[in-house]
Chains A and B, each alone.
Chain A
Amino acid sequence: MRRAGAAWLLVLGLASPAAAQSMDTYGMGSRSVALAGAVTADVEDPSANYYNPAGIVRDGQLRILAGWFGAHHELTLDDEDSNVDPVHGLVVGLNVPGNIGDFRFAFGLGVHLNDQRVSRTRTLPRTRPRWELYDNRPHRAYLSTHVAIEPVPWLRFGGGIGFLSYSEVDLRIRGTIDVGAPERGSALEHDVLGNLVTIRFPQVGVQVQPTDWLDFGAVYRGEYALSSDLHAQVGSPDFAGDDAAGLTVGSIYVPAYLELLSASTGAYVPHQLSFGASVRPIPELRIGVELTWLMWSLYRSAIGRTDIDFRIVVPPELGDRIRVPPLTNTQPVPARFSDRVVPRIGVEWRPHASPEVAVDLRGGYFYENSPAPEQADAYNLVDADRHAWSLGAGIELRALRPLLPGSLRFDLHLQYSLLPARAMTKRSPIDPTGDYVAQGHIFAGGLVTEVRFE
């Protein structure tokens, strides 16, 4: 137990508030998604690396999972497509068991790698409507590592950390812009420095199995917030030196300096606490239920601050021709989200099982009430409630010796989400965006293969 305690301290010590990925919205693996994510109590395949790390030690077998996942969005504002990009990519999971004497443990690895873009940072104009939970958040790679122990046969603990990254971009421009012929007469140089800085967030879980037909589980996933920082500097503040910049109007040189600092949150996932139970009233039937508490009220803001310092030294002869517009700094806008509790239910039925092959059929449902308030002011963090129904099936080939000392599984799932119409009524009758109705559908699916070594 002392070793286990040290492992926990290590995990928690490395964790820091940190960003979002596909799993929070669409789940991981096919079996678990088909069961609507109601698997915290008894998950044991490599998707446990997301749902409950305690599960990676559950069956003591080496399991390797690989598959593909995709989601297509049809989200609209006033029936106009919001062009929310699809998300698809590879899913990989690994459970590696071990034991020292009677002490069982396991290591796990979970990976989701989007195949279109590993990570996307996007900062939109402050008032532009954006589907806050679907537009940018899923476009992240996900990597998590876990360790789990089973001190007694009915109790398992697991924990680990997930890795994500946020971006810091530094842009410097120097030289001159010819106002009369900007394409031909300008001479500009720039330096760009971009960093993807790693962040980590914790995930811990427990599974309790008092009987063969009843399981309980709980999991905590840490908060993470991906910031996106841009620092742009044009010219030098004292208008001199190698970094100086300016405009040329004919033969007149106009020294100028611009410094822009933009800081915003590109993706956020709140603290999450899930409690689940599963029951097998008969060996062929498994029913799982779950409640997940997501602390969205801690979400500070998706709309960040912008600091602008713009200076221009207008020569007297151009005093009446060049007018510098007033530029004001902007402050973060509170998100004012609310916590939400997500109920889930998943049912799995095994209509056929033999020493050679087993077949499973699955179905699930969950409901996510929107944490976003009605967008009555100038800002538009669009969201709507979500009803998600899923179906899935799996087949396990068990008699593959001597080719494979274990079994081979194929699972697939389909998920349909309905986001019912939500009207956004603006407080101001002259709001630039105006009233609108947000609604949509999400279609997702995936296929995974899992090899299990006995």
Chain B
Amino acid sequence: MRAPCAISTALLLAACSTIGDAGGTPDGLPHGGTGEFRLLDGDELGIAGALPGRAMVLRDAIERAAPAGDFLFYATARLGEARPELPDGHPPGDIYWPAFEPRRIHRASAWEEGVGGFVAGPEVLAASEPWHGGEVYDPWPVILEDGTARLYYAAAGGVGLAEAPRVDGAFAHVAGPIVAGARRPSVIRGPDGAWWMYYEVAGTLQAARSEDGRVFDPRGRITIGGEDHGEGTEVERASPGAVRVETRAGRVLVRLYFESLRDGLVEGERAHVLYVAGSADGLAFERHPRAVLAASDARYPAPVLLDTRVTLLYASLPFFGGPYQTRAVVASVGPAGERFAPADADP
């Protein structure tokens, strides 16, 4: 009886192997970091009850935030004692800073669970120089190969530089203003190996180049070509957030996320919409025709590559939780189809 049973079993298994299946679809496809991003949800961030995308819970006013390693650097200020009345014509979405104490730069630590979340941390830099004008903001941290950390920031007189022996160490002001009159600095190693700073001056995006990352040579406006399929009309560009991309094909590119300030999108207001552009030389950019984040009034993009295809993009959305409107730091992911396992899921 053993032989017939064995043969029957073998035939049955062979027959089962021929049962059709739905077939696979390609997974983990390459992605150019250009399509629409998706706000992470609370389960992915590991912050229970968080609003979609909200990467850090903080009651104080918070503006630009940029990541470096396991840390997020952000400019923040507490609500002041006085309660000045919001003037007529104050741009919607802008924080009314006169109601707050002077801005300082803090360092948040990565949330223990999930991806992209942070817990608010200590102050690392405050205004100390006359050209600071009493406050510092727009942080952009960079970690060097030897572990040294640089913190580019903006103040009233332009862009300054602070350094620390490690990213979690004590920062001290070392130079500034290294680019006068600029704000929103974003610094990366460019395709040519030099340091490139992208920054905002009077509604335009400009670049400066440096061999050592301390002394920058301004190169003027960058060009952004390509089609714009967005609604409304772009009238200004602001808040560059750059990331160096080394593709698997061996090429180095710069992806530059930026705010497109647009008329005709919201009646009576100038809308802020995030777009991205790419460049092979760091100066001549081609834009992606569509916005990268569907959320309205998104500002201050700060990208970080998780790998060659997945990008986390930190940004800022309006937040209403006190006497004055402030803003919240949010994290989004591209490609939008990428999902991180909930923090409590088994690895």
Contact = CB atoms under 8 A, between A and B. Distances in A.
Interface stretch (A262-270, A305-313, A427-435): A427-435
A425 B249 contact: yes
A124 to B, nearest CB: 8
Interface stretch (A115-123, A188-196, A225-233): A115-123
Contact of B30 (A77, A116, A428): A77
Nearest to B191: A429
A80 B31 contact: no
A197 to B, nearest CB: 22
B32 A431 contact: yes
Interface in B271-310: 276-280, 285-288, 308-309
A428 B29 contact: no
A261 interface: no
A78 B248 CA distance: 7
A404 B287 CA distance: 74
Given A78-B309, A430-B286, A83 B247 contact: no
A129 B28 CA distance: 11
Contacts of A83: 24-27
Interface centre among A130, A423, A425, A434 (most CB of B within 10 A): A434
A128 interface: yes
B249 A436 contact: yes
B31 A433 contact: yes
Nearest to A434: B32
B29 A430 contact: no
A85 B23 contact: yes
Contacts of A115: 17-18, 20
B226 interface: yes
Interface in B25-78: 25-35
A447 B238 CA distance: 66
B29 A425 contact: no
A130 B29 CA distance: 10
A423 B26 contact: no
B253 interface: yes
Q: Interface SS of chain B: helix, strand, loop or mixed? A: loop
Contact of B278 (A78, A81, A429): A429
B2 interface: no
Contacts of A437: 248-249
B27 A81 contact: yes
A82 B26 contact: yes
A434 B26 contact: no
B90 interface: no
Interface in A408-452: 423-426, 428-437
B20 A435 contact: no
A77 B29 contact: yes
Interface string B240-282: 0000010111110111000000000000000000001111100
B20 A85 contact: no
B21 interface: yes
Given A128-B29, A429-B286, A423 B248 contact: yes
A153 to B, nearest CB: 43
A394 to B, nearest CB: 22
A254 interface: no
A84 interface: yes
Nearest to A85: B23
Interface centre among B29, B255, B278 (most CB of A within 10 A): B29
Nearest to B308: A78
Contact of B309 (A81, A128, A424, A434): A434
Nearest to A90: B18
A435 B248 contact: yes
Nearest to A437: B248
Nearest to B289: A430
A432 B20 contact: no
A423 B249 contact: yes
Contacts of A425: 247, 249, 251
B161 to A, nearest CB: 28
A434 B31 CA distance: 6
A210 to B, nearest CB: 45
Nearest to B275: A430
Given A423-B250, A430-B288, A116 B32 contact: no
B248 A430 contact: no
Contacts of A80: 27-30, 309
A434 B286 CA distance: 13
Contacts of A81: 27-28
A429 B23 contact: no
A39 to B, nearest CB: 28
A34 B242 CA distance: 54
Contacts of A135: 26
Nearest to A130: B26
B277 to A, nearest CB: 6
A435 B251 contact: yes
Nearest to B23: A85
Contacts of A88: 17
Nearest to B33: A434
B26 A432 contact: no
Contacts of B276: 430
A432 B288 contact: yes
Contact of A428 (B20, B249, B278, B308): B278
Contacts of B286: 428-430
Nearest to A431: B32
Interface pairs A-B: 3 shortest CB-CB: A80-B28, A434-B32, A429-B278
